[in-house]
Structure formats: structure tokens, C-alpha cells
Amino acid sequence: MSSFWSANLPKIGQMIAAIAIFLAVLGAIFFIAGRANGKKQKPIAITIFLGPALVLLTFGLVGPAIKTFLFSFKNSYSTKWVGFRNYQWIFTDPDMRIVLRNTILWLVITPLITTALGLILAIFLDRMRRESIAKSLIFMPMAISFVGASIVWQFVYNFADPSQPQTGLLSTIVRHLGFSPTNWILTQPLNTFLLMVIFIWVQAGFAMVILSAAIKAVPADIVEASALDGASGWKQFRSVTFPMVRSTFIVVLATMVVTTLKLFDIVRTMTGGNFGTSVLSNEMYSEVFVRFDTGRGSAMAIVLFVMVLPILIYNIYNLRRERSIA
């Protein structure tokens, strides 16, 4: 046990030291800069408040993004310009076609189902008894890592030879229903949909929680007034509640699309991208870190970026409108 502490205490010490230095530097800067007054105060404040974030973003995201863009037109070792060859490969290679098809399937199906399910749950949950318990249970997978989730779902999708007893939940249920189970994870294209189920399982709670708060923010008197006017059930939902949560619905939907595009862990840990389940973000990682082809990997990143661009533009458009109203 003593060797355990001699190996691990220095790590904790390192962490405490890093935090202490960080806070001390910040405190010192605040103290000194706070003395400044007059005309200089504002530029100094801007530099100190915004500077660190901008420097980190420049080196962490902006610079790499530009670099990636340039790399996408170069060969695998970035030594020669190759024009659009990497892009051409993405759109013509037969294996890449499957990857693109999967990415689009993911993009179209999962955000919609997840957000719609979140909305239905939020509506059904609203003012239900023991609302918070049900909410916690449904939200719980959000706290589980995708690595953990993949182990969890192995016990659902596991398949054994028909002569053996089944230990997978899905196989057992299917067998009790009188059908014979197949090897779920190997069956194309079913396996992609089975991976989507995991995504929905993880993310639906998030959509539910956000939409639930939006529903609670609808003023009760509006709902009551519409009830007095004779609107009920579906009509009331369609003409009163939904219009009031529409903007939240779209924000959640957009967030889900971005999360779907960055999706990496589920595919990586469940199938490693094999058996026709790969998506762009996983393929990109394999290309760069396994096959060491920076050119192709970068081109995939740019394709991914272009796919999310419309959502981004739409979001910024909405954001600007909201800000000009406020």
C-alpha cells in the first residue's frame, strides 16, 4: 500500500500545485490591473478577460482548423499538393460510400427521434406524480460514458450459438417470441440502427430535461385561457404549447445534429467501425491515427464541417434575431 501512495501522491500534488499556480497568477493579474484607472482601464480589462480565451481558441481550434483545410489538399504525409484528390476519393471509394451513407442515416434519424422522444416525455411527465424520479431514471444514461454504455449494451445485443443458452437480453426476448435470434452486431444494415438505439438511450434524457423546462415556462394563464375558449387535447397542444416551445425544440434538434456528427465513441467501442457501421468521425480518426494518412483524414474533417454548416448558419441567424429583440 505504501508503494501505492508513493506512486500516486505526487500526481495529486501536481494537481494541487497546478490549481494553486493558476489561481495565484490570476489573483496577481487582477490585483495589478485593478489599480489601473482612467482611459487605460477598458483596454486592459478587455485584454485580461478575453485574451486567455482567444489565445487558447486560436491555438486549440482556429489554427488546427486552418491547418486541416490546407492538409486536405495534400498527400498523406503533407509533402505534396494533390488538389481535390482526397475529396474525390471520399465520394467515389466504395467503402467510403457506406461510411457516407451511414453518416447521413445517423444525421437524419437520430436527432429527430431523440428530440421527438424528449418532447413526448417532457409533455407526458409534466406535473405527473413522482416526476423527478422518472426524470432521473431516464436522464441517468447521460452520466454514463460511451465506453460504459457499450459494455452495458453488449449484454443486450450479445448473441450465442443457437445450441447454447442465450445471455443477451434481445436474443432471449426474440427467442421467447418464437423467432430465432441472429448475430445482431454483424447483421448489416440492422447493426447501424442498433447503434443508434444506444445514442438515443444516452441522449433522450438530455432533450427531455431541456424541453421539460421550456414547457414549464409556458404561462399557465395562456393554457387556461385556451381551455376556456374550448380548445382541448391535441388542438391545445398544437396551437398553444408547441408554438411556445418551438424555438427550444429547434435548439435541441440542432445540438443533437452536432453531437451526432462528432459521434465517435459508440461506433469506436461497439464495432470499431467494422461490419459496415463506420461513420465519418470514426473513419477520420482511423485514417489519421491508424493509417497515418493526414490528407484523407483532413478532407473528411472538412466534409463533416460542411455538413454541419447549414445548422450553424441557421443558429447564428436565430441568435442574432433574439439579440436584436433583447
Partner 1 sequence: MSILNRTRTPKRAAKGLAESNPGRKLLGSKFATITVWTIAALWTIPTLGIFTTSFRDKKDIVTNGWWNIFIHPHLTLANYHAVFFGDGQSGLTNGVLPYFINSLVITIPAVLFPITIATMAAYCLSWVKFRGSDFIFFFIFALQIVPIQMSLIPLLQLFTGGVHLGTVTLIPKLGIAGKFAGIWLPHTMFALPLAIYLLHNFISSLPRDLMEAAHVDGASHFTVFRRIVLPLSVPAIAAFSIFQFLWVWNDLLVALSFSAGTEGIEPVNAKLAGLVGTWGSHWEYLTAGAFVTIAVPLIVFFSLQRYFVRGLLAGSVK
Binding marks (x or -) toward partner 1, 62..81, rule CB under 8 A? xxxx-xx-------------
For partner 1, give the closer residue by CB, 253 or 311.
311
49 binds partner 1 (CB under 8 A): yes
Q: Is 66 helix (H, G, I), strand (E, B) or coil?
A: helix
DSSP-assigned letters across all residues of 143-201: GS-HHHHHHHHHHHH----TTSPP-SHHHHHHHHTTPPP--GGGSTTHHHHHHHHHHHH
Confirm or reject binding of residue 56 to partner 1 (CB under 8 A). yes
| Residues within window 227-246 making contact with partner 1, judged by CB under 8 A | 227, 231-234, 236-237, 240-241
28 lies in the site for partner 1, by CB under 8 A: no
Told to check if 271 binds partner 1 by CB under 8 A, we report no
Which range touches partner 1 (CB under 8 A), out of 83-91, 99-107, 185-193, 262-270? 262-270
Write the interaction track for partner 1 spanning residues 174-213; mark x where CB under 8 A is met and - where it is not. ---------------------------x--xx---xx--x
How far is C-alpha 248 from the geometric centre of its chain's CA atoms? 17
For helices 146-157 and 190-216, what crossing angle results, to 10°?
A: 120
What is the nearest approach in angstroms of partner 1 to the Cβ of residue 88? Answer: 20
Asked whether 177 and 230 are in contact (CB, 8 A), the reply is no
Q: Which of residues 117-136 bind partner 1 (CB under 8 A)?
A: 120-121, 123-129, 133-134, 136
Task: Check binding of 284 to partner 1 (CB under 8 A).
Answer: yes
In the complex, what is the shortest distance from the CB of residue 241 to partner 1, in angstroms, rounded to a whole number?
Answer: 5
Contact status: 20 vs partner 1 (CB under 8 A): no
- Let me know: does 275 contact 191? Beta carbons within 8 Å: yes
Are the beta carbons of 184 and 157 closer than 8 angstroms? yes
Question: Does residue 291 interact with partner 1 by CB under 8 A?
Answer: no
Residue 151 interacting with partner 1 (CB under 8 A)? yes
Please give the torsion angle defined by the CA atoms of residues 290, 294, 297 and 300, in that order, rounded to the nearest 10 degrees: 180
Q: How far apart are CB 85 and partner 1 at their closest, in Å?
A: 19
C-alpha cell at 140: 441517468
Q: Under DSSP, is residue 87 helix (H, G, I), strand (E, B) or coil?
A: helix
Q: Which is nearer to partner 1, 94 or 165 (CB)?
A: 165
In the bound state with partner 1, the residue whose beta carbon lies nearer, of 31 and 94, is: 31
Among 214, 256, 267, 279, which residue interacts with partner 1 (rule: CB under 8 A)? Answer: 214
User: Which of 82, 105, 250, 258 contacts partner 1 by CB under 8 A?
Assistant: 258
Measured in whole angstroms, the distance separating CA 87 from the mean position of its chain's CA atoms is 25
183 phi and psi angles, rounded to 5 deg: -80, 90
Minimum separation from the CB atom of position 253 to partner 1 (A) = 14
**Rounded Cα gap, residues 123 and 131, in angstroms:** 11
Of the candidates 286, 325, 284, 319, the residue with the CA atom closest to the CA atom of residue 90: 284
All three cell numbers of 188, joined, read 448489416
Q: Which stretch binds partner 1 (CB under 8 A): 61-69, 84-92, 101-109, 176-184?
A: 61-69
